[in-house]
Amino acid sequence: MQPTEWTLLSKDKEQISLQAHKLTFFQQCKLVECIDSNNSHYLLFFYKDHFLTVQPLKDFTRNSFLGNAEKHGVFIYAPNPLFSRLLPPLSTVKISPIRQLMTTIKKDYSLEETALITSYFDSYLSADTLESFLKECFFTYRRNGKLRAAYRLAMILRSRGYNRNWITSTTEHLDYASAANYFKAPLSKLLSSDPIYVEQQCFLNLNKNYDLLVTLYTHQNRLNDLLFIRIAKWLNQPTAVTYPKLVQDLTEYFEHDEVLQFLLSFLPHTSPKSGLHQDVYQRLIKKQDYKNAITLLFAYSFSLSDNEMDELSDLIDYNFLSHLTLSITSISERLFPLVGKRPLLFEKILRSTLPQLLKQHSLSEIHSWLQQFQFNDEIPVRNKINNMFNIMDDPDNQLELGMHYFDLHQYEQAIDCFSWEMELHPNEVEPIKWLAKTYRKIGKLEEVETYHNLLSQIQRSS
């Protein structure tokens, strides 16, 4: 899956590509951390699903809004289709001055939401400026005799993590005794009248209040948020028992191919014991996407059924394996536990991967590595390596060694062997034939012509 990218329009009208990296969901806010080509980090701010602004990522304290989001929020990492659901790929965004943004927020949101959204930017505004603005919002309610609304705003700010002495002292005043008593009710009782406060409290103890948060998002038809917390909950504790419910949730909202994209995005962050990797493998096979299925199988250690193991031999193809970065370590740790009891399949995989392994490891290393595997049946490719190892320093067997290297697509090593053989036996035609054949494989036609001419001279003189 390709990462989601957006375009940042700088003050100088320069277009900067931003690549999504991490999505943090905390209460009503979503934060998308992005990275540009210079490794500079930015944050896209959203209120629910509404884009607010993009700002450079600043250092923040533990008690700031960004600090609370890091502590209490839930996360999803890119690539993931949820990023493009928030903001379409290649959308253009620009950095807005916070004071200008505050003016826009006042026009679009209630006083309560305006205060809450503005508090998100406590790492970008001076403490005095923010406190003055929030106090004005609070006392606007009080001056209008709306004591419960004033108290609610104070509780919302405290739940958001904005703890100041003036909030504590005013909410403890006797004038707010009735409102304070009202907010002591169970969160489920406050859901219809105070959804913002309930949502915030749910995030402070998400495990306990997860079902209530699901109810809230369902009532408000906030499908993205509903999906987000369901995914985040499973990623936090991925198990094979709960995996079918995750798939069911995704299937409610997306078509088959979109579900697969979601599942693919979870692979690096989840243990193969979760059931995810085996299911994705089966989906890729069903889709006949054999190349990615084999890539997945070689990247993670998960089990296959007997039928899948029987089918695997037919799927293994050199073209599938040649693009993978396999090492003797990855084969030992991932592949051998899977195919160790099937020597013919191990032989097929090993033979397909040997050309690449010989580019990363010496012949001696591969020979030593293969000795650790015990099979009841003979493995021809292991016999080949054993033979190559035994004759590698034998000057009388360089032609045979070169032929082995040629068979394994190691053409430079083959040329060295054939050249050595030709020096030792300058009138023999076999090493010359093999040199011409090998140079043709690597596209050096002038050398091919040279050795053909030399072969003709030898044949005429004999």
Average pLDDT over residues 338-357: 82
What are the tens digits of pLDDT across the range 70-127? Answer: 999 998 888 888 898 899 988 999 998 998 999 999 999 999 999 999 999 999 999 9
**How sure is the predictor about 244, in pLDDT bands with cuts at 50, 70 and 90?**
very high
Residue type, 350: L
CB atoms within 10 A of CB 276: 25
Q: Which structure tokens are listed for 356?
A: 């690449």
**Residues 6 or more apart from 330 whose CB is under 8 A from it?**
298
- Alpha-carbon gap, residue 117 to 227, rounded angstroms: 23
Q: Which of 409, 414, 317 is nearest to 359 (CA)?
A: 409
Question: Residue 172 half-sphere exposure, CB side, CA atoms within 13 Å?
Answer: 6
Burial grade of 53 (CB within 10 A; 0-12, 13-18, 19 or more) = buried
Q: Which of 62, 28, 25 is nearest to 47 (CA)?
A: 28
Residue type, 1: M
What are the tens digits of pLDDT across the range 258-268? Answer: 899 999 989 98
What are the tens digits of pLDDT across the range 164-191? Answer: 888 888 778 888 889 989 999 999 999 9
φ and ψ at residue 393, rounded to 5 degrees: -110, 15
Positions of CATH 1.25.40.10 in the chain: 394-462
Peptide bond before residue 79 is cis, with ω within 30 degrees of 0: yes
What is the percentage of the chain residues whose pLDDT exceeds 70?
A: 97
- Alpha-carbon gap, residue 376 to 176, rounded angstroms: 82
Query: Counting every residue, how long is the chain?
Result: 462
Three-state SS for the chain is CCCCEEEEECCCCCEEEEEEEEEEEECCEEEEEEECCCCCEEEEEEECCEEEEEEECCCCCCCCHHHHHHHHCEEEECCCHHHHHHCCCCCEECECCHHHHHHHHHHHCCHHHHHHHHHCCCCCCCHHHHHHHHHHHHHHHHHCCCHHHHHHHHHHHHHHCCCCHHHHHHHCCHHHHHHHHHCCCCHHHHCCCCHHHHHHHHHHCHHHHHHHHHHHHHHCCCHHHHHHHHHHHHHHCCCCCCHHHHHHHHHHHCCHHHHHHHHHHHHHHCCHHHCHHHHHHHHHHHCCCHHHHHHHHHHCCCCCCHHHHHHHHHHCCHHHHCCCCCCHHHHHHHHHHHHCCCHHHHHHHHHHHHHHHHHHCCHHHHHHHHCCCCCCCCCHHHHHHHHHHHHCCCHHHHHHHHHHHHHCCCHHHHHHHHHHHHHHCCCCCHHHHHHHHHHHHCCCHHHHHHHHHHHHHHHHHC
Q: Which of 192, 47, 69 is nearest to 115 (CA)?
A: 47
**Residues 6 or more apart from 118 whose CB is under 8 A from it?**
102, 105, 125, 130, 133, 134
pLDDT for residue 243: 95
**How sure is the predictor about 54, in pLDDT bands with cuts at 50, 70 and 90?**
very high
pLDDT for residue 133: 95
Average pLDDT over residues 282-302: 88
Could you tell me the pTM of the whole model? 0.75
**Of the listed ranges 137-151, 224-238, 338-352, the one predicted with least confidence:** 338-352
Q: Which structure tokens are listed for 71?
A: 């502590």
What is the percentage of the chain residues whose pLDDT exceeds 90?
A: 58
Query: Mean pLDDT of all residues in the chain?
Result: 89
What are the tens digits of pLDDT across the range 36-51? Answer: 999 999 999 999 999 9
Average pLDDT over residues 318-341: 73
- Alpha-carbon gap, residue 281 to 31, rounded angstroms: 32
Domain 394-462 in CATH 2.60.40.180? The answer is no
